[in-house]
Amino acid sequence: MSLSKLIKAKLKADGLTTAQAAKKAGITAITFKAVTAGTSVPNSRSLSKYASFLGISLEEAQKLAGDRKGKGMKRGPKPGKKAKVAKAPKGAAKRGRPPGKAKAAKAAKPAKAAKRGRPPGKAKAAKRGRPPGKAKR
């Protein structure tokens, strides 16, 4: 029997939903549903929570859950092995600037202190809305 089947049997016996059971076990509902569906294997920290929820020992829960081989973060190649480099399909365009097409240099502008606010000589724009003195009819 697997851990997911044991959890499903416990839910059915207790008449709990997965969300209620997750709250009772102290595990997030999303993770609990994934383990119940069999798409995820719990890590060592949460495995003890599943064991106490099911009323079994931690060792028994580890046997039922199986190993986490291939689960979790993907890491780089193992020491002593070269990393595989993906090659572009034959005839595929390369990314980036084509050779011989150097980026054009921008024209140098004289250094000038930047001023904040409205440039001199520009009047403040008129307010929108009804002009003063015009009453609403």
Supply the pTM of this predicted model: 0.49
CA 3 to mean position of chain CA atoms: 27
Angle at 118 between CA 112 and CA 121, to 5 degrees: 90
Per-residue model confidence as pLDDT tens digits over 2-18? 888 889 999 999 999 98
Per-residue model confidence as pLDDT tens digits over 51-110? 898 899 888 888 888 776 655 545 555 666 666 666 766 666 667 777 777 776 666 666
pLDDT band for 30, please (50, 70, 90 cuts): very high
With a cut of 80, say whether residue 49 has pLDDT above it. yes
The reported pLDDT for the residue numbered 43 is 86
CB 21 within 8 A of CB 53: yes
CB 27 within 8 A of CB 50: yes
Please determine, looking at this structure, whether the domain spanning 3-65 carries the CATH number 1.10.260.40.
yes
Cα 124 to Cα 11: distance, rounded to the nearest angstrom:
71
